[in-house]
């Protein structure tokens, strides 16, 4: 008999990493102390790994909206959107998001993952999906769900994308998938290049704006707004778990496509609708994003300062004003050791290894938020200086600025 559970043994390296004390995952946060700080194992750390880029998860107005919706409507939705879980609040959020994004229609989902998974409904065997090498796992899962053929181009490499489009069966459907701002590198997609190729090859274009909505573009509509190319995108997916500070997701696009997804996307039809608290929090967060552009301006300035400091220290960081700062390390174990050194220095970052990033390209991901204080940023800088020197990742140099 073949036991399907037999494979469920974690590799020896897992045990080894645990014994070394450098295992970075499933760290339980005991408390959140005000903005930008968490308590883990009784210790106060700077939270430098959160996607809550604008700090809205802790904003009083957003919290109050969630509490009020919970009082009025309860903690759950009671069913899927299709059957009995649809709330007027969901519809209000969909209308508000459609207006904000400038799209005809929006369908709200219970997570960003589920919004992307819904795209699998639009493709089938025979179709070719061409995606950036760095696109998120949920876009890959959507392609698997749809049974389409997946081809991946080197990150932002337009020559490679063109070759793959050229090789695709012209008699079948073609879809290009990209992220607006990439979650692991912080880089922005080459939308002008992608849009041009999509037109030339009659391919549909989907952009996952998980990390750029609320942050990029003059109005925070994302990478497409920043490029002035919103019309080039057929569908835009969004998650509420980053800049909007809550949980949930959405697909935005033409009415006809969204209506189809509402009835056929399995990740919508067969799962409970978004909770009232999350829907109300997302609505409140959208209002703040529209009314307080200074949040994203502050975030950009902080990110620019921190990435510049890390690069000057000797890390292979590309300075930019985007909140995701990727610190390349390469080797998985070295990445875990750096993560642990930073943790010991009081800074909680994210260690990313394959399959989160390509094999051999492990990195520490730092995310900066609009609510990090100057003192907290200084603590991140001194932690990287001390940890990097101890591990000989950066040259010895003048003492980093101390707190």
State the catalytic residues: 183, 211, 242
The distance of closest approach from Cβ of residue 397 to ligand PMP in the complex, given in angstroms and rounded to an integer, is 34
Q: Strand 324-330 relative to strand 362-367: parallel, antiparallel, unpaired?
A: antiparallel
The distance of closest approach from Cβ of residue 183 to ligand PMP in the complex, given in angstroms and rounded to an integer, is 4
User: At which residue do the structure tokens 């730092």 appear?
Assistant: 366
Per-residue binding letters, 147-186, with ligand PMP (x by CB under 6 A):
--------------------------------x---x---
Q: Does 239 bind ligand PMP (CB under 6 A)?
A: yes
Task: Tell me how crowded residue 373 is: count the other CB atoms within 10 A of its CB.
Answer: 14
Residue 210 or 283: the one with the smaller Cβ distance to ligand PMP is 210
Count residues contacting ligand PMP (CB under 6 A)? 14
The distance of closest approach from Cβ of residue 62 to ligand PMP in the complex, given in angstroms and rounded to an integer, is 16
Task: Tell me how crowded residue 328 is: count the other CB atoms within 10 A of its CB.
Answer: 16
Only segment of 108-116, 155-163, 190-198, 382-390 that touches ligand PMP (CB under 6 A): 108-116
Asked whether 106 and 250 are in contact (CB, 8 A), the reply is yes
Q: Strand 43-47 relative to strand 362-367: parallel, antiparallel, unpaired?
A: unpaired
- 386 forms bridges with which residues in the sheet? none
Q: How many Å from the N-terminal Cα to the C-terminal Cα in the chain? A: 61
SS3 (DSSP) at 74 = coil
Residue 35 or 141: the one with the smaller Cβ distance to ligand PMP is 141
Q: Does 116 bind ligand PMP (CB under 6 A)?
A: yes
Only segment of 21-29, 56-64, 105-113, 386-394 that touches ligand PMP (CB under 6 A): 105-113
Q: Does 310 bind ligand PMP (CB under 6 A)?
A: no
Q: Does 213 bind ligand PMP (CB under 6 A)?
A: no
Residue 183 or 376: the one with the smaller Cβ distance to ligand PMP is 183
Q: Does 49 bind ligand PMP (CB under 6 A)?
A: no
- Helix or strand run (H / E) with residue 193: helix 191-200
The distance of closest approach from Cβ of residue 365 to ligand PMP in the complex, given in angstroms and rounded to an integer, is 11
- Token couple for 89: 């609040």
| CA dist 324 → 84, 111, 233, 273, 368 (Å) | 39, 21, 23, 30, 7
Only segment of 35-43, 59-67, 112-120, 170-178 that touches ligand PMP (CB under 6 A): 112-120
Which 8-state DSSP code applies to residue 81? I
Question: Which listed residue (53, 100, 113, 336) binds ligand PMP by CB under 6 A?
Answer: 113
Asked whether 223 and 180 are in contact (CB, 8 A), the reply is yes
d(CA 119, CA 191): 20
Q: Does 132 bind ligand PMP (CB under 6 A)?
A: no
- Helix or strand run (H / E) with residue 69: helix 60-73
Residue 65 or 324: the one with the smaller Cβ distance to ligand PMP is 324
Asked whether 217 and 226 are in contact (CB, 8 A), the reply is yes
Only segment of 61-69, 77-85, 106-114, 374-382 that touches ligand PMP (CB under 6 A): 106-114
Residue 251 or 338: the one with the smaller Cβ distance to ligand PMP is 251
d(CA 363, CA 351): 6
Question: Which listed residue (55, 249, 346, 388) binds ligand PMP by CB under 6 A?
Answer: 249
Asked whether 121 and 265 are in contact (CB, 8 A), the reply is yes
Residue nearest to ligand PMP (CB): 112
The distance of closest approach from Cβ of residue 182 to ligand PMP in the complex, given in angstroms and rounded to an integer, is 7
The distance of closest approach from Cβ of residue 113 to ligand PMP in the complex, given in angstroms and rounded to an integer, is 3
Residue 178 or 302: the one with the smaller Cβ distance to ligand PMP is 178
Which 8-state DSSP code applies to residue 26? S
Three-state secondary structure string covering 243-285: CCCCCCEEEEECHHHHHHHHHHCHHHHCCCCCCHHHHHHHHHH
Task: Tell me which residues touch ligand PMP (CB under 6 A).
Answer: 111-113, 116, 136, 138, 179, 183, 208, 210-211, 239, 241, 249
């Amino acid at each position: 008999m073949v036991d399907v559970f037999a494979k469920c043994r974690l590799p020896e390296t897992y045990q080894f990493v645990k014994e070394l004390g450098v295992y970075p995952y499933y760290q339980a946060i005991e408390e959140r102390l005000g903005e930008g700080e968490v308590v883990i194992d009784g210790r106060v750390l700077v939270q430098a790994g959160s996607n809550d880029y604008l700090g809205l998860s802790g904003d009083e107005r957003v919290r109050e909206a969630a509490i009020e919706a919970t009082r009025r409507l309860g903690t759950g939705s009671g069913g899927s959107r299709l059957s009995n879980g649809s709330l007027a609040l969901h519809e209000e959020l969909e209308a508000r998001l459609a207006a904000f994004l400038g799209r005809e229609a929006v369908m709200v989902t219970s997570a960003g993952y589920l919004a992307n998974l819904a795209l699998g409904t639009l493709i089938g065997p025979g179709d070719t999906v061409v995606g950036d090498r760095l696109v998120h796992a949920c876009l890959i899962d959507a392609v698997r769900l749809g049974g389409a053929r997946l081809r991946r181009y080197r990150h932002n490499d337009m020559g490679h994308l063109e070759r793959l489009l050229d090789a695709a069966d012209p008699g079948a459907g073609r879809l290009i998938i990209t992220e607006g701002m990439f979650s692991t590198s912080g880089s922005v997609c080459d939308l002008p290049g992608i849009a041009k190729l999509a037109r030339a090859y009659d391919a549909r274009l989907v952009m996952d704006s998980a990390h750029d909505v609320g942050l990029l573009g003059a109005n925070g509509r994302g990478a497409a707004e920043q490029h002035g190319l919103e019309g080039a995108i057929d569908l835009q997916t969004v998650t509420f778990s980053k800049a909007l500070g809550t949980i949930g997701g959405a697909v935005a696009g033409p009415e006809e496509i969204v209506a189809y997804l509402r009835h056929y996307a399995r990740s919508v039809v067969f799962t409970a609708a978004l909770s009232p608290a999350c829907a109300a929090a997302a609505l409140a967060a959208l209002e703040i994003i529209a009314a307080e552009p200074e949040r994203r301006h502050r975030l950009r300035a902080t990110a620019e300062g921190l990435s510049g400091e890390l690069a000057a220290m000797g890390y292979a960081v590309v300075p930019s004003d985007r909140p995701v700062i990727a610190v390349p390390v390469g080797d998985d174990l070295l990445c875990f050791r750096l993560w642990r050194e930073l943790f010991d220095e009081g800074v909680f970052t994210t260690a990313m290894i394959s399959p989160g990033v390509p094999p051999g390209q492990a990195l520490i991901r730092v995310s900066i938020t609009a609510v990090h204080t100057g003192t907290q940023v200084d603590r991140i800088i001194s932690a990287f200086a001390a940890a990097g020197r101890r591990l000989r990742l950066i040259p010895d140099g003048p003492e980093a600025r101390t707190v």
